[in-house]
Structure 1
């Protein structure tokens, strides 16, 4: 059995697919992953022995360039074209295709599956792109939702219109180039009849809706057994657990010296600081021995050894910190990150920072909440409810669907 996993986006889009790929291989499947060929993604997949098929330009370069609303349709056209170019040969002979990542990338990959007659499943790592009468949709850059409209169903109708305006021409032009008919509703095409939601039910509970048959598998973890670097271990062993500050794949547009703000706020709490450089390129501000900076390390090994995690609110980082039982401060930057910040606050396992730009006063207040003993106790309790078998569940569902007359995944 051959499975193709396709995505385009940040590490939060690639790492879960690596976790699924490992489980699929353990069950006897042949797996490859289509993803951006950024060095960290190449190393990540090579480290677990999974073939990477490069697609599109550098995701890091695209992210650091920042969102320019007027260029979204042009970017979408380029991303879809790159999907057709890379995914088509990679998908030849495959039994099923899994598509996730940016909506334009998923639309391109699903179009390839349609062209080749391969069953496919659409996956999301957050529920905010799945229509629900219980909440409004996310707004796209340059297309804010009208504040006077409060009915969620009306807002979801506007969302569909916005998706078509941004991505419809780009998708249909590329589909025509491979002999496929146009798509009338891009969002519904990408979601499909039975989308998968790869998030933890305790952290991200899905409310059943009559309009959509969602399969929630649990989050897809990749076991990260890398040992922590010796220098980092020595720093951790030298004193009380530090506060980790890292923003993953977020470049922090508009933030003024976020490392200095974070270090000063953490020091004011009487804590040591551990900086994760990430795509924001955070760096130390002085040579005091209460601070240490690291690059790409195993969060699974690290988060259990820190007092709190200050991060951007990506789904993967939020879930890993929750699983570790470590209090969090979420400084949301964009997209689904305010939602994860809200979930952390609602569960009592940390604090949601007000806005994307940390200041000394605001970050200090959030840290005080996260470092309180009752927050630690609550985080420890919630950690026991987090499932660790999501990738295994998904792998078994996927392989069980292969060969059925009517697959349980969306075709």
Structure 2
């Protein structure tokens, strides 16, 4: 197959697609990845052909966009802001994608833009989506995030309640997206979004663990396939490893990383967290998009820059983070407990999953600077958290999301490896 991938957003939206692209190449297929120039070197370093789509933002512009989303507070308002920002670049993006689809056998996008299906249909190319969080997968067990579960209802009534709210939520999301894009849909030659949750594409790869995350969910439509995680890790950096080894001295140390999340009060809240951190305890702080440098003069705090999750997590006893899908997956794979201080979008959902699994705790989005030092100590010292984290790691080690995803895409298109 000759495959075009596209995804838009922060690192957690890009790296799973890089992982999928590498797996497709390993399976004998040709792959191009259309994304923003900010991730150009990551894509090229992974051995994937890069295709530029807007916006041509640098790191500071992406960070400011993240702050704008955080100000919106509610997930629905954040979704509205995502599409408001995207509308400025949508027509150019569609033109580039349509040109790139010439001669392609498959078009795979991320779940945020199901209306890209219209581009694939114009070119008579099969279209699939990748979903990075199963909180948008309709089922008969759990309603959408903001809806009370009412599990005390008799089973038939509970099922009706859950299904009704999935239908309502899908309609509300459709209306929100279409309202933001109404001025550009015709110029971009895209159809209005319809069935965002219920029927976004004929094939949706749900890139989370079936063994850890799907358990207990019933009534999932056959178009939604839990593949396992699509994780991509950059190579270890030898200089960073030397620094980590020198600082940790063979001991595991708590890690704080907020990845690509930043917000107006991020630096002030980190200063408060550092002030509450025990002065005699070591801590690794990853700077991230917020460019944290609080604690740089503290002899027991090590500040590091960009590094792969897996490399840093080998030194971690527990992790405090924002609850991004990719970071949560990495910590689960590491087998260490975690504390999540959710900030935007699906991060509250992931925090609830971590609590459900017994592998960590959820801190308040605003109160985490006071809570997190105590929570990190708790998950690091209590055997139950350690045991459950190792049990989840064991399940994940038996799954192969990349292999499963490639097999599903090959079956969907009805094609094996490209003979050339």
Alpha-carbon distance in structure 2 between the residues aligned to 1:310 and 1:231: 23
Alpha-carbon distance in structure 1 between the residues aligned to 2:374 and 2:278: 13
Which of 242, 252, 271 lines up with 2:263 in the alignment?
Answer: 252
More moved, 227-236 vs 88-97: 227-236
Name the counterpart of 2:208: 199
Alpha-carbon distance in structure 2 between the residues aligned to 1:330 and 1:243: 13
More moved, 4-13 vs 254-263: 254-263
Which of 316, 325, 338 lines up with 1:328 in the alignment?
Answer: 338
Moved over 6 A (4+): 145-148
Alpha-carbon distance in structure 1 between the residues aligned to 2:228 and 2:206: 7
Residues 310 and 334, structure 2, Cα contact 8 Å, conserved in 1:
yes
Name the counterpart of 2:226: 216
Alpha-carbon distance in structure 2 between the residues aligned to 1:394 and 1:29: 13
Alpha-carbon distance in structure 1 between the residues aligned to 2:243 and 2:294: 14
Is residue 119 of structure 2 the alignment partner of residue 109 of structure 1?
Answer: no
Q: TM-score, normalised by structure 1?
A: 0.85
Which of 335, 340, 357 lines up with 2:350 in the alignment?
Answer: 340
Residues 10 and 260, structure 2, Cα contact 8 Å, conserved in 1:
yes
State the Cα distance separating 1:17 from its structure 2 match.
Answer: 0.8
Residues 138 and 335, structure 1, Cα contact 8 Å, conserved in 2:
no
Question: Per-residue CA shift, 1:200-231, capped at 9, x if unaligned?
Answer: 12332162316553211100122433234255
Residues 296 and 303, structure 2, Cα contact 8 Å, conserved in 1:
no
Is residue 408 of structure 2 the alignment partner of residue 401 of structure 1?
Answer: no
More moved, 84-93 vs 364-373: 364-373
Question: Per-residue CA shift, 1:316-336, capped at 9, x if unaligned?
Answer: 111111111111111111221
State the Cα distance separating 1:292 from its structure 2 match.
Answer: 1.1
Residues 137 and 220, structure 2, Cα contact 8 Å, conserved in 1:
no
C-alpha distance 243-199 of structure 1, shift in aligned 2 (>3 A): same
Name the counterpart of 1:272: 282
Alpha-carbon distance in structure 2 between the residues aligned to 1:61 and 1:184: 27
Residues 266 and 272, structure 1, Cα contact 8 Å, conserved in 2:
no
C-alpha distance 61-55 of structure 1, shift in aligned 2 (>3 A): farther
Name the counterpart of 1:54: 52
Name the counterpart of 2:403: 392
Structure 1 unaligned runs (5+)?
A: 140-144, 405-411
Name the counterpart of 2:153: none
Alpha-carbon distance in structure 1 between the residues aligned to 2:26 and 2:338: 33
State the Cα distance separating 1:302 from its structure 2 match.
Answer: 1.7
C-alpha distance 274-184 of structure 1, shift in aligned 2 (>3 A): closer
State the Cα distance separating 1:138 from its structure 2 match.
Answer: 4.5
More moved, 251-260 vs 270-279: 251-260
Name the counterpart of 2:139: 132
State the Cα distance separating 1:4 from its structure 2 match.
Answer: 0.8
Question: Per-residue CA shift, 1:158-213, capped at 9, x if unaligned?
Answer: 32332232222555665534656x44625158622332211012332162316553
Alpha-carbon distance in structure 1 between the residues aligned to 2:48 and 2:284: 31
C-alpha distance 355-233 of structure 1, shift in aligned 2 (>3 A): closer
Name the counterpart of 1:359: 369
CA-based RMSD: 2.8
Name the counterpart of 1:308: 318
Is residue 107 of structure 2 the alignment partner of residue 97 of structure 1?
Answer: yes
State the Cα distance separating 1:128 from its structure 2 match.
Answer: 1.1
Residues 166 and 197, structure 2, Cα contact 8 Å, conserved in 1:
no
Alpha-carbon distance in structure 2 between the residues aligned to 1:50 and 1:171: 31
C-alpha distance 108-80 of structure 1, shift in aligned 2 (>3 A): farther
State the Cα distance separating 1:31 from its structure 2 match.
Answer: 0.6
C-alpha distance 166-236 of structure 1, shift in aligned 2 (>3 A): same
Residues 337 and 386, structure 2, Cα contact 8 Å, conserved in 1:
yes
Residues 106 and 127, structure 2, Cα contact 8 Å, conserved in 1:
yes
Alpha-carbon distance in structure 2 between the residues aligned to 1:184 and 1:378: 40
Residues 244 and 274, structure 1, Cα contact 8 Å, conserved in 2:
yes
Residues 236 and 305, structure 1, Cα contact 8 Å, conserved in 2:
no
Secondary structure of the 1:398 match is helix
Residues 123 and 196, structure 1, Cα contact 8 Å, conserved in 2:
yes
Question: Per-residue CA shift, 1:260-308, capped at 9, x if unaligned?
Answer: 233344426x531111111122113352321111111011122021111
C-alpha distance 160-237 of structure 1, shift in aligned 2 (>3 A): closer
Alpha-carbon distance in structure 1 between the residues aligned to 2:122 and 2:210: 34
Structure 2 unaligned runs (5+)?
A: 151-157, 416-420
Which of 110, 120, 131 lines up with 2:127 in the alignment?
Answer: 120
Alpha-carbon distance in structure 1 between the residues aligned to 2:359 and 2:182: 44
Count of matched residue positions in the alignment of Structure 1 and Structure 2: 390
State the Cα distance separating 1:116 from its structure 2 match.
Answer: 1.1
Alpha-carbon distance in structure 1 between the residues aligned to 2:323 and 2:189: 40
